[in-house]
């Protein structure tokens, strides 16, 4: 456990609130302490109101903020006096508590305060830090976890038995902490939940957190439960893409909507998934109930989705209240799958959600194996886990989530994605919620977007091996394929048939026809598994209907591709896959149209460049975005009953009309 405090860095953060931001970020940098919005921090500051009255304000991490990137705006200011009065109530429902927190903030624009705000308030220290440290969780999630915690810390911490976060936990801490704290007490351990530290300064509270977690790590090391060796022969694996796509399709069916699935087949994940005791150690529950909402109660072992769904429904019926309103929120689909061949697979409504689940469960695997090395992993009882999963506050969030984007949970592959129409297609699809795999021969494709829902791969589509590798990587990242946009192509220099060389002709055919045949063939099995049926959009050309002199190779290749698309529409209709073609013309914001070429063509017609750009029936300029938006719409519900169509995107061309 590394202490990341740096005096030079700290000097850039001014005042109590600034230093609270700084040490919060230090905690957030260490993923063994907090992950994806987990944990929370606070500071108590005395401030003067607009009316001149002094009052104590608790600044606590607000909902939706990640400690690693928190700003002062992410800390919610709540009146401390009112929080202390609330802590003395006999009972307070969660909705009432949330209302009290929101209505007693001093800044209306602040985020909703953490549900653990009252707990922070009752601790009599200026700075309070709370993490879900992996090392502490590994120790508390054992049969004799409390005994071990006492052995490690003595009176350095107060131990609190597990109670679900919220008012009841705060009230328990308010009763037990003053009675059990001693002069040496610097922290508090919540069993099966996490660890608190506190201090008079930001650095003191942070240093104490690092020290407490280091003590837990040292304990694990002494008991040979810290280093987790990889069994011999585990290695990394390259799981077959069809197996992964089929699993994702089945789980999406169980959920009732498409899910993105990201796979991790590294040595650690494969080793965990091949443990002989996998079912016993992995299906008790998560390392901390804070992870339940995203990972669900238990992972699925192997690929029997129907059996998992039955088990999950039985679990729900056993523990849930009979209210139909609660049952309506039941989603039996797993969010984690542990498979000996595929490794650990994580699912979510978006690629970001799936990545969060994967990160959470990667740390959960470490916690489970370290606890097992101590003598046996033991999670909370199912009743406690159920209460968190169907917590009324979480159910309210689900209801308020709104309608997801049209392509949420779906995956698209776009060729020629680094520039022009292909890049515009990437942007249009991302804006509609799709996860996108972008292929291009330009290495710049790998850094086109830095986000969870985009995978840029350098790929020469004339190489069948590179296409196969790209599809494997895409399915590993997102779980399958729902939409295919075939855009990549080349437009050679003008040559009459009399001067056209055979190598030039074959070169154009290799990219514009042969490569697209391979892509269609290799993607067909994946598109068949698309939860909402597969969709293909092919970027053709005006030259299919109206070829021009000097463009024999290009015109013939696009005509051949158009015929290929028509045949695919006929053959794939039985699979529910629809195939449509767009025919753009004169799209000038692409790589082949330099300023010099534009000026030359405009001069040929004796008109200005801007007029040349609009040389069509409607007198409009056609952009890459115009083509991309229509391509995205053709993959959407408006075209659900259309296949084999050919649509021009050219502003109206007299020769085509």
- Among 167, 192, 222, residue at a domain's last position: 222
Beta sheet of 435-440, edge-to-edge order: 454-458, 435-440, 411-415, 483-486, 535-539, 578-584, 646-649
pLDDT, one tens digit per residue, over 74-125 is 999 999 999 999 999 999 998 899 999 999 999 999 999 999 999 999 999 9
* pLDDT attached to residue 122: 96
Residue 269: how many CA atoms within 13 Å on its side-chain side?
Answer: 25
Per the structure, the complete domain to which residue 495 belongs is given by: 411-587+622-646
**Better-scored residue on pLDDT, 539 or 49:** 539
- Among 191, 222, 253, residue at a domain's last position: 222
Q: Residue 492: pLDDT band by 50, 70, 90 thresholds?
A: confident
**Residue 616 located in a structural domain:** no
* pLDDT attached to residue 324: 47
Percent of the chain with pLDDT over 90: 76
Distance from C-alpha of 542 to C-alpha of 520, rounded to nearest angstrom: 22
pTM of the full structure? 0.90
Are residues 421 and 387 located together in one domain of the fold? Answer: no
**Residue 235 located in a structural domain:** no
Are residues 163 and 205 located together in one domain of the fold? Answer: yes
**Residue 147 located in a structural domain:** yes
Q: Residue 622: pLDDT band by 50, 70, 90 thresholds?
A: very high
Instruction: Identify the weakest region by mean pLDDT among 283-287, 365-369, 540-544.
Output: 283-287
Distance from C-alpha of 484 to C-alpha of 535, rounded to nearest angstrom: 6
Q: DSSP letters of 203-235?
A: HHHHHHHHHHHHHHHHHHHHTT-S--PPPTT--
Given a contact cutoff of 8 angstroms between Cβ atoms, the answer to whether 424 and 625 are in contact is yes
pLDDT at 319 over 90: no
Are residues 197 and 300 located together in one domain of the fold? Answer: no
Are residues 503 and 536 located together in one domain of the fold? Answer: yes
Q: Domain containing 210 — which CATH number?
A: 3.40.225.10
Query: What is the number of domains present in the chain?
Result: 3
pLDDT, one tens digit per residue, over 111-141 is 999 999 999 999 999 999 999 999 999 999 9
Are residues 448 and 578 located together in one domain of the fold? Answer: yes
What's the DSSP call for residue 643?
-
**Mean pLDDT across 462-484:** 97
Q: Residue 328: pLDDT band by 50, 70, 90 thresholds?
A: low
The set of residues, in sequence order, having a beta carbon less than 8 Å from that of 331 and lying 6+ positions away, is 255, 256
**Residue 595 located in a structural domain:** no
| β-strand pairing of 194-199 with 187-190 | antiparallel
Distance from C-alpha of 569 to C-alpha of 553, rounded to nearest angstrom: 24
Residue 39's nearest CA partner among 200, 208, 190, 225 is 190
Q: Residue 397: pLDDT band by 50, 70, 90 thresholds?
A: low
Distance from C-alpha of 36 to C-alpha of 38, rounded to nearest angstrom: 6
**Mean pLDDT across 247-273:** 93
pLDDT at 68 over 70: yes
Residue 445's nearest CA partner among 431, 425, 463 is 425
Beta sheet of 300-301, edge-to-edge order: 260-264, 343-348, 336-339, 300-301
**Mean pLDDT across 232-254:** 81
**Mean pLDDT across 387-392:** 69
* pLDDT attached to residue 161: 95
Are residues 396 and 428 located together in one domain of the fold? Answer: no
* Strand locations in 244-363 (E): 260-264, 300-301, 336-339, 343-348
Distance from C-alpha of 485 to C-alpha of 535, rounded to nearest angstrom: 9
361 given a catalytic annotation: no
**Better-scored residue on pLDDT, 250 or 230:** 250
* pLDDT attached to residue 398: 55
pLDDT, one tens digit per residue, over 450-459 is 999 999 999 9
pLDDT at 322 over 60: no
Are residues 395 and 417 located together in one domain of the fold? Answer: no
- Among 400, 420, 451, residue at a domain's last position: 400
Are residues 309 and 448 located together in one domain of the fold? Answer: no
Instruction: Identify the weakest region by mean pLDDT among 166-170, 253-257, 563-567, 593-597.
Output: 593-597
Residue of 377, 554, 605, 612 with catalytic role: 554
């Amino acid at each position: 456990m590394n202490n990341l405090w740096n005096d030079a860095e700290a000097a850039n953060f001014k005042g109590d609130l600034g230093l609270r931001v700084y040490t919060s970020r230090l905690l957030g940098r260490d993923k063994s302490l907090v992950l994806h919005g987990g944990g929370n921090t606070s500071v108590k500051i005395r401030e003067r109101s607009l009316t001149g009255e002094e009052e104590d304000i608790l600044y606590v991490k607000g909902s939706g903020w990640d400690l690693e990137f928190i700003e002062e705006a992410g800390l919610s200011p709540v009146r401390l006096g009112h929080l202390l009065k609330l802590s003395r109530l006999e009972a307070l429902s969660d909705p009432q508590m949330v209302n009290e927190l929101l209505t007693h903030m001093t800044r209306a624009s602040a985020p909703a305060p953490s549900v653990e705000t009252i707990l922070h308030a009752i601790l009599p220290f200026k700075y309070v830090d709370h993490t879900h440290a992996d090392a502490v969780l590994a120790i508390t999630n054992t049969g004799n976890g409390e005994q071990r915690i006492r052995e490690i810390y003595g009176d350095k911490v107060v131990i609190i038995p597990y109670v679900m976060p919220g008012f009841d936990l705060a009230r328990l801490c308010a009763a037990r902490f003053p009675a059990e704290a001693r002069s040496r007490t610097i922290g508090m351990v919540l069993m099966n939940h996490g660890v608190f530290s506190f201090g008079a300064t930001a650095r003191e509270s942070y240093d104490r957190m690092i020290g407490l977690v280091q003590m837990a790590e040292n304990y694990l090391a002494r008991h040979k439960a810290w280093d987790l060796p990889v069994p011999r022969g585990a290695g990394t694996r390259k799981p077959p893409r069809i197996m992964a796509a089929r699993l994702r399709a089945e789980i999406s069916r169980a959920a009732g909507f498409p899910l993105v699935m990201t796979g991790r087949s590294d040595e650690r994940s494969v080793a965990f998934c091949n443990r002989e005791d996998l079912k016993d150690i992995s299906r008790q529950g998560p390392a901390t109930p804070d992870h339940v909402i995203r990972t669900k109660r238990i992972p699925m072992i192997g690929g029997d989705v129907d059996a998992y769904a039955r088990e999950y429904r039985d679990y729900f019926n056993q523990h849930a209240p009979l209210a139909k309103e609660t049952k309506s929120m039941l989603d039996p689909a797993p969010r984690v799958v542990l498979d000996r061949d595929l490794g650990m697979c994580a699912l979510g409504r978006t690629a970001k959600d799936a990545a969060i689940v994967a990160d959470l469960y990667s740390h959960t695997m470490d916690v489970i194996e370290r606890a097992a090395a101590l003598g046996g992993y033991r999670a909370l009882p199912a009743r406690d886990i159920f209460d968190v999963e169907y917590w009324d506050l979480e159910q309210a969030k689900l209801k308020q989530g709104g309608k997801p984007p049209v392509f949420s949970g779906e995956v698209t592959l776009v060729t020629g994605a680094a520039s022009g129409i292909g890049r515009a297609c990437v942007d249009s699809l991302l804006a509609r919620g799709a996860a996108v795999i972008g292929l291009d021969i330009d290495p710049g494709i790998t850094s086109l977007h830095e986000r969870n829902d985009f995978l840029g791969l350098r790929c020469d589509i004339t190489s069948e091996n590179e296409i196969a590798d790209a599809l494997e990587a895409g399915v590993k990242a997102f779980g399958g394929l729902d939409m295919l946009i075939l855009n990549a192509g080349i437009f050679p220099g003008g040559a009459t048939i009399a001067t056209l060389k055979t190598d030039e002709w074959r070169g154009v055919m290799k990219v514009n026809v042969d490569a697209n045949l391979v892509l269609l063939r290799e993607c067909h099995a994946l598109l068949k598994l698309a939860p909402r049926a597969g969709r293909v959009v092919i970027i053709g050309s005006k030259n299919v209907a109206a070829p021009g002199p000097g463009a024999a190779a290009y015109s013939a290749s696009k005509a051949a591709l158009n015929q290929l698309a028509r045949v695919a529409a006929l053959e794939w209709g039985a699979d529910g896959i629809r195939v449509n073609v767009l025919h753009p013309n004169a799209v000038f914001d692409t790589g082949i149209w330099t300023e010099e070429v534009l000026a030359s063509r405009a001069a040929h017609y004796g008109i200005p460049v801007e007029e040349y750009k609009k040389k069509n029936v409607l007198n409009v300029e056609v952009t890459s975005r115009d083509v991309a938006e229509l391509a995205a719409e053709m993959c959407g519900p408006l075209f659900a009953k259309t296949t084999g169509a050919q649509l021009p995107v050219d502003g109206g061309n007299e020769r085509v009309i």
